[in-house]
Structure 1
């Protein structure tokens, strides 16, 4: 069944709480639609064409952006809070990625954002289902939008989206090789990604301790909690490991006076779990995890925007679908998959000569850079020693800047970016550097 496409150039009038009407700036060329990926599940996508006055969109790559969670909406959060043309106030974003690429946002897994299921049994429960659904969407997309078949295509991701991106990238590579999907697949970028959960968890204690957010007693408690998770992982008790993961986060919150898991220098905690009492059932850890890692991205302001003006603009969202309304079910159904690693998938990508980029924010706790470095050391890639032997190079956000904004190391088809002064959401925290990184990864002059 072909995807429906709805091009639009100008945003409709928006009513503000003050009662005044404003007309936001002219938007770039767009298209959006649904793809039925299974008989009882439909996935929503939203495409923005590159918007550069000097060049046509065909001069720029196409980026697929995958949000985390699982259950967080790329069409909402990634678009309006990170890299899209407008922010959540519908004001132009100075560092939008549309300056250097066309961007395809997809709400995945099914049930995320505007995507939906008609049967509770249709939610994805593992990476395999997530990947197969995305292959259906990408096959339909490139068949419908033939102008993108020869343009370099990259997958960029964030958080749990990186775990999904690695698996999707491998399947896409195979599909392109087999000729079942026509596109110019050029690489995958894994941002603050949940590639190896246990390596992130083990790094929590040392990272917090070295940044003076844990004392000796706190370090011991967090380390003990991490060892319990590791033990469950070694026994392949993945759901138990997820429950223990939630409890470890409770221990961190208690010892750090509520550190923000997404940026340790941001004092106001964005978690909602503190309102929950400890007397509730043992299923609570899953609810807490959802609130910590998905629900906060569905902030009231963004939710009002997506379920109000944006819904009216798109015109195709079914009446029974509320943006983000199924996200808790998306998260809960993936609970058994949370703690599984995909290091071997990254190895396969490197062996297949797919370009792999890893980038991470210096201030990220949930996926600390120490943890990313740890799983990279576990790669079986034959060229890893040569990659490790490279000296990293400092990067500056712009030619005029004298302040180091990042470090970069590269060898053959593996790149690593250490993004300074950024938390989990790198483009939101360091927009200029994120845009420069995009240009480096996609081989544009910068």
Structure 2
């Protein structure tokens, strides 16, 4: 006859097996990167020869260039955060291959599949983990991680120069710097820095910067923070009483920023967003339609594979994180500072594209229009008076475009904060038309007038 203890052990064993079967497994099966999905080039771009700190990059050459390679534009993509890896953009948004998940028996399988809306169809595409300490980039010490946009720009400039030096043809190719979210700081900062440096260099030594594109960018935080209550109210997400409460908290953050109390102002902005999150009960403020947040952890898990790291040429000792808390904390005081004056400088000397996903509550359409109205640019009144035109892709509504001179503003329909993730093909059409001056992004006002619903093919 079995003892009581033996029976108890048997019962516990059965219960344990039942628990394992009933509980969703977190075991992952990660497929290696197919040869056809490997970057054209990848590795490290040194920013400090003494400490060996360096930025990680992946480069994908244009798949179907319609120009000579020496004239084919190169797009540089910078992720936001601060401290989020551009590998998120690469493997979740606009790169040629995306991480996808499928469920097997108690196993989540991760693999890559082609992205039909990749931004390297007609152009070369570079993803850079910026600043150092982000993603696979190397920061020898935390003290070396930039604390403001001036320091960010110096490192990025060295990395971009190092990339251009990799191939003789890179020196002649037009460069466009693009990015989203906190890259609303990075993109204007490096664009401004490049143009200032170019002014003192012979043409042969200059970086051939032609334009910058910023998606859902945090550019002028004081102005943008002031719009959260209004955006939520007119989206039907809060009532008038809640709107008033939000406005009071917004004013506190704005007042602190105006006094130069940058760190406390950043905390106050977080209070605004947390309050808005609690009031609305949304899954994410990045896209108020979504029932679950963006699945960024897919990229974290995939890039944690030793085999994947080796294939990309990344330092295998790095524990990959999509977003670095360390970098975020170091740039804490930078968050509420403005780069508007840099955008104003760029719009006078290059072409600028600003675009928003229409359902982003953090740095969306209303926030963008608020700070654009305050731009110091001799053409801003013409821009504000320009028609907002219906934009179609292959006969279907893709959004709206407003353009005057060197400034274009696009609102992408059915998209949130991560526009290329939500609307891959339409975002591809947008960036291609903007770079190539086609359709609603054309400099030809007559063409725009005759074709207000231009169909990008």
Find the residue that maps to 2:303 and give its secondary structure. Answer: helix
Gaps of 5+ in 2: 1-26, 100-110, 439-455
**CA-atom RMSD, angstroms?**
2.2
Q: How far, CA to CA, are the matches of 1:118 and 1:325 in structure 2?
A: 19
CA 1:269–1:302 in 2, change beyond 3 Å: closer, same or farther? closer
Is 1:81 aligned to 2:92, yes or no?
yes
Partner of 2:421: 428
Partner of 1:7: none
Is 1:358 aligned to 2:354, yes or no?
yes
| 8 Å contact from structure 1 (residues 49, 57) kept in 2 | no
Q: How far, CA to CA, are the matches of 2:211 and 2:404 in structure 1?
A: 14
Residue correspondence of structure 1 range 23-42 to structure 2 within 5 A: 24=34, 26-27=36-37, 30-38=40-48, 39-40=50-51, 41-42=53-54
Q: How far, CA to CA, are the matches of 1:49 and 1:255 in structure 2?
A: 46
Q: How far, CA to CA, are the matches of 2:242 and 2:283 in structure 1?
A: 13
| 8 Å contact from structure 1 (residues 107, 115) kept in 2 | yes
| 8 Å contact from structure 2 (residues 265, 336) kept in 1 | yes
Partner of 1:63: 75
Residue correspondence of structure 1 range 249-328 to structure 2 within 5 A: 249-269=273-293, 297=296, 299=297, 301-308=298-305, 309-319=307-317, 321-324=318-321, 327-328=324-325
Partner of 1:335: 332
CA 1:231–1:431 in 2, change beyond 3 Å: closer, same or farther? same
Q: How far, CA to CA, are the matches of 1:66 and 1:204 in structure 2?
A: 25
Residues 129-184 of structure 1, C-alpha deviation per residue, up to 9 Å, x if partnerless? 10000011111111222211111110111000121100100111222333374432
| 8 Å contact from structure 2 (residues 70, 172) kept in 1 | no
Q: How far, CA to CA, are the matches of 1:121 and 1:183 in structure 2?
A: 28
Which of the numbers 397, 402, 405 marks the counterpart of 1:409?
Answer: 402
Q: CA deviation at 1:240?
A: 0.7
Is 1:114 aligned to 2:136, yes or no?
yes
Find the residue that maps to 2:226 and give its secondary structure. Answer: helix
Residues 272-296 of structure 1, C-alpha deviation per residue, up to 9 Å, x if partnerless? xxxxxxxxxxxxxxxxxxxxxxxx7
Q: How far, CA to CA, are the matches of 2:201 and 2:92 in structure 1?
A: 36
Find the residue that maps to 1:178 and give its secondary structure. Answer: coil
Q: How far, CA to CA, are the matches of 1:101 and 1:238 in structure 2?
A: 39
Find the residue that maps to 1:113 and give its secondary structure. Answer: coil
Gaps of 5+ in 1: 1-16, 271-295
Residues 31-64 of structure 1, C-alpha deviation per residue, up to 9 Å, x if partnerless? 0121221233221111110112877644531000
CA 1:261–1:150 in 2, change beyond 3 Å: closer, same or farther? same
| 8 Å contact from structure 1 (residues 204, 368) kept in 2 | no
Find the residue that maps to 1:98 and give its secondary structure. Answer: coil
Q: How far, CA to CA, are the matches of 1:177 and 1:315 in structure 2?
A: 35
Find the residue that maps to 1:109 and give its secondary structure. Answer: coil
Q: How far, CA to CA, are the matches of 2:435 and 2:47 in structure 1?
A: 29
Q: How far, CA to CA, are the matches of 2:274 and 2:120 in structure 1?
A: 39
CA 1:18–1:80 in 2, change beyond 3 Å: closer, same or farther? closer
Which of the numbers 157, 179, 197 marks the counterpart of 1:157?
Answer: 179
Find the residue that maps to 1:222 and give its secondary structure. Answer: helix
Residues 108-132 of structure 1, C-alpha deviation per residue, up to 9 Å, x if partnerless? 0110000021212111111111000
Is 1:349 aligned to 2:346, yes or no?
yes
Q: How far, CA to CA, are the matches of 1:28 and 1:52 in structure 2?
A: 17
Partner of 2:221: 197
| 8 Å contact from structure 2 (residues 161, 207) kept in 1 | no
Q: What is the TM-score when the length of structure 1 is the normalising length?
A: 0.84
| 8 Å contact from structure 2 (residues 39, 312) kept in 1 | no
CA 1:119–1:385 in 2, change beyond 3 Å: closer, same or farther? same
Q: CA deviation at 1:373?
A: 0.6
| 8 Å contact from structure 2 (residues 401, 411) kept in 1 | yes
Partner of 2:259: 235
Q: How far, CA to CA, are the matches of 1:229 and 1:147 in structure 2?
A: 48
Q: How far, CA to CA, are the matches of 2:326 and 2:29 in structure 1?
A: 36
| 8 Å contact from structure 1 (residues 33, 44) kept in 2 | yes
Q: How far, CA to CA, are the matches of 1:155 and 1:397 in structure 2?
A: 24
Q: Which has the larger radius of gyration?
A: 2
CA 1:266–1:57 in 2, change beyond 3 Å: closer, same or farther? farther
CA 1:434–1:221 in 2, change beyond 3 Å: closer, same or farther? same
**How many residues are matched?**
397
Is 1:133 aligned to 2:155, yes or no?
yes
